[in-house]
Amino acid sequence: MVEVVLSDVSRVHADGTRAISHLDLAVADGELLVLMGPSGSGKTTTLRVVAGLEPVSEGVITIDGRVVNQLRPGERDVAMITQEHGLYPHLDVFDNLGFALRMRGLPAAEIEQRVRAEARVLGLSRLLRRRPRTLSAGARQKVALGRATTRVPRLFEMDEPLTNLDAAQRHRMRDEIAQLQRGLGVTMLYATNDQAEAMVLGDRVAVLCDGALEQVGPPQQLYDRPGNLRVATTVGSPPMNVLSGRLDYGPAASWLWMGQLPLALGGHLPPLLRRYDGRAVAVGVRPEHVRQAAPSDANPVGVRVRRLERLGSATLAFCALEPSDEHLPLVARLSPAADLRVGEHIQVAVDPRRLHFFDVDSRDAVWHGDT
């Protein structure tokens, strides 16, 4: 059993900068937990303090119930893979894969068996006598992964390992990492700022911002019910639209005013939003819940198309609400067949049941619509 627990963990640099602050996080045995957040959010520092590469300033880290704060990296038995691969350039693939096993003093025959078995799993058998500089970026990352798995550490850590790969290589490596993790049943901490990696790989995702933990949970839960505005705009690509609005709560129907534009909400709002009557709120809506208005839509919103991204499977329309003093931005994920031009004025519709409301002061979620 390999369970990792961080209790009130902080890492403060010599200049007083808090890289991570009062972090409480538990990683279950056999779980793949993704740390997601922008650059500087504390992802790498979290991995490094768990691995023992940086000291903990405050708090306690335990692995299998044992406090490891004072243990050296080698005593923690954590394998860390980074985007730089960390391969030994003077060794061929075979010797890179078997390096940790030789350091442990394993017999040559066992090293040979384990290295060749891992090479077969990763598709590296034909590359065993080649040096790292002669390999593609994807192959080098496979070697780095294999070097960790041949010795079967107690805990795997991966720090944005796919950053330097092209799109096709990232897809392949993502699948291989998922299969290896499930096949070995190992506990893994995986840091990334890539939305797809987080959503596909993680049993759970922990969102970090400015060194603090914002929310942790299953990927779909974070997408559907973000706990605050930071999570709402971090999880999802493109991120959630967030608009400034004011609620006008009527007895039969309610309205959301965005600048000078009213959006009819009907009777879809719960009583808990009554306290925001007449007050400013932050309103979120996912791009896929914004569509071109149909003739039957009673209350469409006028927008001007400012930019288009045609992705093949969808068209992203980057719009501005008009007329509006604020020219509020709005992104819509539309059909790939959408016949639009930049500068065109169109009507869009938003299902009020798909809206998310946030308190403008605390920035915490107040209410989520149907998800």
Specify which residues 350 forms β-bridges with. Answer: 290
Whether residue 51 sits in one domain with residue 133 = yes
80-94, 150-164, 315-329, 354-368 — most confident range = 354-368
Count of structural domains within the chain = 2
Q: In whole angstroms, give the CA distance from residue 346 to residue 335.
A: 15
Residue 207: φ, ψ to 5°: -95, 120
Tens digit of pLDDT for each residue in 254-293?
A: 788 876 677 777 666 677 788 888 899 999 999 999 999 9
* Nearest in space to 6 (alpha carbons), one of 28, 25, 33: 25
Mean pLDDT of 23-49: 96
- 128: buried, middle or exposed (CB in 10 Å: 19+, 13-18, 0-12)? middle
The residue among 186, 209, 234 that closes a domain is 234
Task: Please count the other Cβ atoms lying within 10 Å of the Cβ belonging to residue 257.
Answer: 14
Taking the model in full, what pTM does it have? 0.88
User: Are 125 and 159 within one domain?
Assistant: yes
Indicate whether 210 and 249 sit together in one domain: no
The one-letter code for the residue type at 189 is L
Same domain, 43 and 123: yes
201 and 320 inside one domain = no
Residues 256 and 221 in one domain: no
Residue 209 pLDDT grade (very low, low, confident, very high; cuts 50, 70, 90): very high
CA-based R_g, the chain, Å: 25
What pLDDT score was predicted for residue 115?
92
**Average pLDDT rounded to a whole number, residues 98-108:** 89
- Separation CA 17–CA 54 (nearest Å): 14
Residues 10, 110, single domain; the answer is yes
How would DSSP label each residue in 175-188?
HHHHHHHHHHT-EE
Written as six digits, the tokens of 222 are 């974070």
Is 180 in contact with 117 (CB distance < 8 Å)? no
- Residue 133: exposure state from Cβ atoms within 10 A (0-12, 13-18, ≥19): exposed
CATH code, domain carrying 28 = 3.40.50.300
